[in-house]
Structure 1
Amino acid sequence: MHESFGKTQSWRRILLPAIVLIGLFSLPATAWFLFLLLERFSTENLVIIVIMISFVVYFPVRHICDLYTFPMVEIDHGVMVVTEPFQGRQVYALKKITKVKAFLKSVFFLHNGFPVVINLHGLQEEERKDIVTIMVAAISGTELHHANRGGSTK
């Protein structure tokens, strides 16, 4: 069973992280480094500043590319992979998840006895319900098929 939730390559999903990471972190840091370089220009300072700027720009852009490439929630072979802004990718074994509760646009559960909250604001209501259904089915040990989910039980 392979399920993906959350659009890949969606600019809306990366808009807030892009504004925060690039606008509030990378650009001011780059401006500060260039100001320091202009104050005391030398070849050594130029090399150090170029290296610092490349790190300050590289990691936020890499994180934003991950958000753009991977789905928000991916469930495959008993493993749930969650890609959240500012969190990276977390992997959870479905067999080790207990006490699943859906509240507003979030899912609360225990994984290995530790509380976990997943923010699902980027997903549609139907996708959020499907994720909770799959997690509850994994706890009870039943296998769900795509045709059986989300339908009427009458």
Structure 2
Amino acid sequence: MRLFIGLEPPAAARKAIAHARDQLHARHGGKPTSTANLHLTLAFIGHGDVQTIQQLRHLLADLDHPGFEFTLDRIGDFKQGAIVWLGCGTPSASLDLLAHNLRLRLGDARVGFDPQPFTPHVTLLRKAQPIIEALPTPIHWQADAIVLYESVSTAAGVCYRPLFRHPLK
């Protein structure tokens, strides 16, 4: 199983993100991320088994972090358009702290994860044209739970299946 931990957008934010994705897709092409797969990754774990899932469930259940709001207000791309994303132009201290504390706990528990610096973003398109434009309307996201996901390959493409949700207090 391929695992990662992230935030799932609430309905209003998901709708606004999907709208921004559709607008960008019309102008820049590429392969859009399905609406069901929209998320913000906090830590990519990679391959894991049932024991890893149990360990991660306990780790997330012990995580004590309040809910918070952050804003997606920036469009960008990685690798000259290979991945187009929405991100935070203005850093969110709560979001950064959540990612930092989660990664510390993963390290303490000896759970391997991708050590690349945390860059909060939601992937919208893959293999698109490079982006140089502003997001017309910022998207506000109320983070109220942290989610353990499994990335599942299907004939229709990859889907992200939530395995465990833990509320942020």
Q: TM-score, normalised by structure 2?
A: 0.28
Larger helix proportion of the pair: 1
Larger radius of gyration: 1
Q: Greater RCO between the two (CA within 8 Å, min separation 6)?
A: 2
